[in-house]
């Protein structure tokens, strides 16, 4: 016969409501670039397809940043 265990509360998380659509946050978001190569060396993509993919990501990011009139740089925080 199995016994049912009761849940035991070990913590309560309280996350205050946040606003994510302010002008500074939207501008910050538009200036970001995604790249899988910004990672630990052991997690970086490998292989020929990924070498080409890296070039495509970089060129698309450069084009978008140029069109938006913002410099292409790594984020440092908000």
For 19-71, what is each residue's pLDDT tens digit?
A: 888 998 888 887 787 788 888 889 989 999 999 999 998 899 889 889 988 88
pTM of the predicted model as reported, rounded to 2 decimal places: 0.57
Structural domain contains residue 27: yes
Domain count, the chain: 1
Of the pLDDT bands very low, low, confident and very high (cuts 50, 70, 90), residue 10 is very high
Q: Decide if 9 is inside a domain.
A: no
In a domain, 1, yes or no: no
The residue segments making up the domain with residue 45 are: 23-68
Q: How far is CA 9 from CA 3, 4, 5, 12, in A?
A: 19, 16, 13, 8
Hey, what are 42's tokens?
């052991």
Strands, E, within 1-78: which ranges? none
What pLDDT is attached to residue 6?
A: 87
How far apart, in whole angstroms, are the C-alpha atoms of residue 25 and residue 18? 12
Residue 24 pLDDT: 87
Asked whether the beta carbons of 65 and 57 are under 8 A apart, the reply is no
pLDDT at 42: 92
């Amino acid at each position: 016969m199995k016994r049912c265990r009761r849940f035991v509360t070990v913590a309560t998380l309280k996350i205050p409501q946040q606003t994510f659509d302010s002008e500074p946050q939207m501008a910050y978001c538009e200036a970001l670039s995604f790249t899988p190569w910004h990672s630990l060396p052991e997690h970086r993509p490998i292989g020929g397809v990924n070498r080409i993919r890296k070039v495509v990501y970089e060129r698309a990011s450069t084009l978008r940043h140029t069109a938006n009139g913002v410099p292409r740089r790594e984020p440092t925080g908000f």
